[in-house]
Amino acid sequence: MNGEVIIPLLLFLVIIFFVGFYASKHIRSTSNFLQEYFLGSRQLGGFILAMTMTATYGSASSFVGGPGVAYTMGLGWVLLSMSQLATGYFVLSVLGKKFAIMARKIRAVTLIDFLKERYQSKWVVILSAASIIIFLFSAMAAQWVGGARLIESLTGLSYTTALFIFAVSVLVYVIIGGFRAVAITDTIQGVVMFLGTLVILIGTIIAGGGIGNIISDLTAENPALISPFGSDQSLTPLYVSSFWILVGVGVVGLPQVAVRAMSYKNSRGMHKALLIGTIVVGFIMLGMHLTGVFARSVLPGIEVGDTVMPKIAMEVLPNWLAGIVLAAPMAAIMSTVDSLLLLVSSAVVKDVYLNYVKPEADDQRIKRFSIGVTAVIGILVFAMAVNPPELLIWLNLFSFGGLEAAFIWPVIMGLYWQKGNASGALASIITGVGSYILFHSFMPNAFGMHTVVLPVILSLMAYVSLSLITARRHEEVQAKVYEKLWSA
């Protein structure tokens, strides 16, 4: 592998390091360590908010896995991926102001802080923290594996060395810089993702001799490639539509996304983020997946989907430009991993340690503990990713949909339905995660829809019915919660 591809990647890593050091200054000077380290002191402006949301959400699958599937399935998969456009405006509209205002009333730093105040239940806190720690830990490890594989394939280094480089670069800036470092690096990574998409799309169209030419190539190979039903006719309208739940509206329930909805400074920032986020998500998803489809005409016969992106970048772009474009998937992976790392760490420190182990810890102690925990989790993930155990791979399958099914209703109903109570939330979390695992194992894609759909419906029913049945029992607590969270 030649140096011209590697130099842009290295340059990218160096810039990211500097951001970490810059952000660590804020941590030293802050008066409230927890708010700064896990939430950037709620100071995010619109552009950074949009970018950190997009970049956190856009992961290895948007840049490597997704385009690989699009290569095999054709335009139908691009259609499916466009269901993600909704994340850009829906999450911020729905969580948006309500969450920002409530979180400030109770000074919540994490999603679980909010659930704790809203439901006043130890079990809700423990179950939520456990789901976050278990699922996001495995999701994170899976992303690290992806990151290391990417570096491996680009540089020719061994897998373990590649993993080590990846781990060290992420750990340094997250540990010393906290949320602010994560948000700023996410912004840089988001810009890299955006430009990378633009360049590779244009490069592929030119290499294929124009869109018309590419499409007629594809039609000649298999007309179904340009139909909405996929190359093997397997994409039914119902199945494709069900992705609106998984990767569209359901994203509201992802803790790493939800926590960002309480990190912004003011409503002007939120409005701006809503706009920028929609445009950036729309462009990246359309561009990357379309590139995957077009790549089929330029480089036919690629067997392994995950290698489509690196191969097409090397094929259609000059080396130095390919280096910049390939920094995009790396940026996508890093920006997802950094947020997950911090979130898992906040669940351990804030939600478990400070709530139940040592509530009286002083600032200095919290600071040392947070940085220590973040480092230990990082090292644990590294150890897991060197040789990923079966259990972890299994857990990762549920991390996205499982978390959505667990949290979507406790969060949304918690914000908008005053009668929702602790029993409802508990039932919803248990039903959501439990039925997700069951459906996934025994009845995947039940009734032709993605597995996530039924658990989301079941957990809503559990939430509403249990909240109504137990309304009497919770009456007193609910009145207090109502007054605290809803009063002017």
Give backbone dihedrals phi and psi of 264, rounded to 5 degrees, phi first: -95, 160
For other proteins, the closer of residues 154 and 316 by Cβ is: 316
The window from 122-130, 309-317, 386-394, 412-420 that contacts other proteins (CB under 8 A) reads 412-420
For other proteins, the closer of residues 8 and 208 by Cβ is: 208
Q: How many CB atoms lie within 10 A of CB 141?
A: 26
Q: How many Å from the N-terminal Cα to the C-terminal Cα in the chain? A: 62
Give residues 143-202 in contact with other proteins (rule: CB under 8 A).
none
Handedness of CA 405, 411, 413, 419 (dihedral sign): positive
Q: Which of 62, 83, 242, 451 binds other proteins (CB under 8 A)?
A: 83
Give residues 231-290 in contact with other proteins (rule: CB under 8 A).
237, 241, 244, 248-249, 265-268, 271, 274-275, 278-279, 282, 286
Task: Work out how close the CB of 406 gets to other proteins at its nearest, in angstroms, rounded to a whole number.
Answer: 21
Instruction: Say if CB 94 and CB 270 are below 8 A apart.
Output: no
Task: Work out how close the CB of 380 gets to other proteins at its nearest, in angstroms, rounded to a whole number.
Answer: 36
When asked if residue 31 is in the footprint of other proteins (CB under 8 A), the reply is no
Give backbone dihedrals phi and psi of 365, rounded to 5 degrees, phi first: -65, -45
What's the distance, CA 163 to chain centroid? 20
For other proteins, the closer of residues 158 and 213 by Cβ is: 213
Task: Work out how close the CB of 98 gets to other proteins at its nearest, in angstroms, rounded to a whole number.
Answer: 4
Q: Which of 156, 210, 372, 444 binds other proteins (CB under 8 A)?
A: 210
- Applying CB under 8 A, what is the total number of residues that bind other proteins? 60
Give residues 419-458 in contact with other proteins (rule: CB under 8 A).
419
Q: Which of 45, 47, 228, 386 binds other proteins (CB under 8 A)?
A: 228
When asked if residue 141 is in the footprint of other proteins (CB under 8 A), the reply is no
User: 349: closest CA among 327, 333, 325, 367?
Assistant: 367
When asked if residue 477 is in the footprint of other proteins (CB under 8 A), the reply is no
For other proteins, the closer of residues 274 and 321 by Cβ is: 274
| Residue 99 Cα distances to 55, 383, 469, angstroms | 21, 36, 26
Integer Cα distance of 345 and 328 in angstroms: 26
When asked if residue 292 is in the footprint of other proteins (CB under 8 A), the reply is no
Instruction: Say if CB 401 and CB 246 are below 8 A apart.
Output: yes
Give backbone dihedrals phi and psi of 227, rounded to 5 degrees, phi first: -95, 165
DSSP assignments along 406-434, one per residue: HHHHHHHHHHH-TT--HHHHHHHHHHHHH
Task: Work out how close the CB of 101 gets to other proteins at its nearest, in angstroms, rounded to a whole number.
Answer: 6
The window from 143-151, 180-188, 411-419, 426-434 that contacts other proteins (CB under 8 A) reads 411-419
Task: Work out how close the CB of 294 gets to other proteins at its nearest, in angstroms, rounded to a whole number.
Answer: 11
When asked if residue 310 is in the footprint of other proteins (CB under 8 A), the reply is no
Integer Cα distance of 456 and 250 in angstroms: 9
Task: Work out how close the CB of 482 gets to other proteins at its nearest, in angstroms, rounded to a whole number.
Answer: 7
Task: Work out how close the CB of 292 gets to other proteins at its nearest, in angstroms, rounded to a whole number.
Answer: 14
Instruction: Say if CB 372 and CB 64 are below 8 A apart.
Output: no
For other proteins, the closer of residues 105 and 122 by Cβ is: 105
CA dihedral 479, 481, 482, 485 (to 10 degrees): 160
Q: Which of 224, 251, 257, 366 binds other proteins (CB under 8 A)?
A: 224
Task: Work out how close the CB of 99 gets to other proteins at its nearest, in angstroms, rounded to a whole number.
Answer: 8
When asked if residue 219 is in the footprint of other proteins (CB under 8 A), the reply is yes
For other proteins, the closer of residues 90 and 398 by Cβ is: 90
Q: Which of 7, 22, 98, 155 binds other proteins (CB under 8 A)?
A: 98
When asked if residue 215 is in the footprint of other proteins (CB under 8 A), the reply is yes
| Residue 333 Cα distances to 119, 149, 234, 270, 338, angstroms | 34, 11, 29, 25, 9
Integer Cα distance of 64 and 388 in angstroms: 20
Instruction: Say if CB 170 and CB 378 are below 8 A apart.
Output: yes
Task: Work out how close the CB of 312 gets to other proteins at its nearest, in angstroms, rounded to a whole number.
Answer: 19
Residues 6+ apart with CB under 8 A from 488: none
User: 111: closest CA among 39, 182, 54?
Assistant: 39
Task: Work out how close the CB of 190 gets to other proteins at its nearest, in angstroms, rounded to a whole number.
Answer: 17
Encode 449-476: b = buried (16+ Cβ within 10 Å), e = exposed.
bbbbbbbbebbbebbbebbeebeeebee
Q: Which of 25, 28, 105, 480 binds other proteins (CB under 8 A)?
A: 105
Using the structure block, give the residue that is written with the tokens 């400030």: 104
Task: Work out how close the CB of 273 gets to other proteins at its nearest, in angstroms, rounded to a whole number.
Answer: 10
Integer Cα distance of 199 and 193 in angstroms: 10
Largest alpha-carbon pair distance within the chain? 70
Site residues for other proteins per CB under 8 A:
42, 75, 78-79, 82-83, 85-86, 88-90, 92-94, 96-98, 100-101, 104-105, 210-215, 219, 223-224, 226-229, 237, 241, 244, 248-249, 265-268, 271, 274-275, 278-279, 282, 286, 416, 418-419, 478-479, 482-483, 486-488
